Amino acid sequence: MKSIKILLLLILSSQLYAQDLLVKTQNGMVEGYATSDKNIRIFKGIPFAAPPVGDLRWKAPQAVQNWSGVKKCVAFSASPIQDLPKPFYCWSEEFIAKPEPLSEDCLYLNIWTSTQKNDKKRPVFVWIYGGGLSSGSANCDIYDGEEMAKQGVVFVSINYRVGVLGFMAHPELSKESSHQASGNYGFMDQIAALQWVQKNIEAFGGDSKNVTIAGQSAGAFSVNALIASPLARGLFHKAILQSGGILSGRLQQNLAQSEKQGLAVMKKLNAQSLSDLRKIPALDLQKMSVGPEIGRFGVTIDNYVLPDNLAGYFQKGLQNQVPILAGWVTGDGGLLGPTRGGIEDFKKEAQAKYGQKAEEFLSIFPANSEEELKKSKNTLGLVGFACLPAHLLSKFNSKDSYVYQFDHTPTDKPGFPNYGVFHTSEVPYTLHTLHLWNRPWQKKDKEVEQMMSAYWINFAKTGNPNGKGLPQWSKYNPKLANILEVGEKTEVKEGLLKKELDFMTNDIFTVK
């Protein structure tokens, strides 16, 4: 009799467990799977927008069609169309999208959430990948959400269109659009994913009123764009930017410039109309749309997704005001590679660009020796690409901001070059995914991972990264440049890069 009761309890438990893997979304039922310990539920490949194919190519994402029955969501969707992903330079396979499948039908998201039931909704963390707005995918190994889900957050990763299919503008596209502009489709995909989260995440245990968006490199550019975009208002409540942002001015054009780029694509492909362009197979379009005569596709200031005069917009505080955590890695300074020209060239360029301010510039970025020149160029690259966006976002933000500099070198991988604190190297520390990056990790790495991921999780939960056992991280004050430096020792340093940031801020912006 006792054995029968135990058997019945096991059957009932199994049935309840199976039901936990079924979730009703607004479009239909989805079924995920669980980790081996049955503590985390995982749902991969949930559609958040209709496939942007055929006539929907180069259009804002459209609503998902409802389905009947249960949709199995147990594998990542295809990655967006891009050049064939493969490891290069410092980025080993853990940092790269899976080489296949690639497809225009790529607008899907993934969710990691606890199996534990309680009445308290969990904070939501939405991860946006990097890749220069021309590559990337949510399926990269280091973007796994299981460890963060174990710490009480609902982790969401999303796909968005990249490259020619995600960011090309064209006069005909602008004309057919209701907002008379084009480009920025990848950003609109991100907005559609956040709208999906608002409508559905509570079914997965998440709190739709406590959503943090986070991203690195082009993901940070994306987070910055969402902070700026009126279309994203109310869709998120906190933001994390790692190494980048549109306030750097990089990868940015006005609508006329972006449309000219689209015309160059049409010419190269010998297409006569937008209809012709939409008929070209996606992989052929990708292959033919790269090259110096076309250039990189990126941010379009279209006065729709992104307002005109971004500087003035932020100065007036019109952006989506939310708590911000932002920073960079020290290796970001060398991201764009070595620059040409010697000492005299550097000084002449400074005189031509800054005029009466050239002397001040050269006192902050000196070039009286080859060693000084190399250091100044690296600092210029670092500040211009990554430090300035973090500083400016905080400067114009009415909510709390926290700024960091990551200077911890990952443990060497045998037989692999040492690239130092390279661009993206902090991501596995912050997402607690070192175990998915193949290196012989040491105690110090694990300590940094534990600390960084705790900061990120605390911030996602409360808007404040501080917590028990962590080095105190003070709110950022632009006048003090009090930045948390993570390296041999983790501590807040006042005045870190302050002269450099002040000069470049005053040069680019008329600060009120």
Instruction: Write out the catalytic residue numbers.
Output: 217
> CA nearest 171: which of 300, 308, 309?
300
Q: Residues 6 or more apart from 176 whose CB is under 8 A from it?
A: 274
Instruction: Copy the structure tokens of residue 138.
Output: 């949510």
Q: What does the alpha-carbon distance between residue 415 and residue 22 come to, in Å, rounded to a whole number?
A: 45
Question: N- to C-terminal Cα distance for the chain?
Answer: 80
* Unique residue bearing structure tokens 């340093």: 493
Q: CA 321 → CA 195, 206, 285, 397, distances in Å?
A: 18, 22, 38, 6
The number of CA neighbours under 13 Å toward the Cβ of 320 is 23
Both structure tokens of 104: 């225009």
CA triple 90-95-97, angle to 5 deg: 125
Q: SS3 letters for 433-463?
A: CHHHCCCCCCHHHHHHHHHHHHHHHHHHHHC
Dihedral sign from CA coordinates of 114, 320, 223, 376: negative
Percentages helix, strand, coil for the chain (3-state, rounded to 5) are 40, 15, 45
CA distance linking residue 502 with residue 113, whole number of Å: 43
Where helices occur in 237-296 by DSSP H, the ranges are 255-268, 274-279, 282-288
The 10 Å Cβ neighbour count of residue 264 is 17
CA atoms of 298 and 441, how far apart (whole Å): 36
- The helix (H) or strand (E) run that includes residue 363 is helix 358-364
CA distance 387 to 328: 7
* Cα four-point dihedral sign 231, 233, 239, 244: positive
- DSSP assigned state of 82: -
Q: If you search the block for the tokens 């309890």, which residue do you land on?
A: 9
Q: How far apart are CA 43 and CA 24, in angstroms?
A: 12
342 phi/psi in degrees, rounded to 5: -100, -160
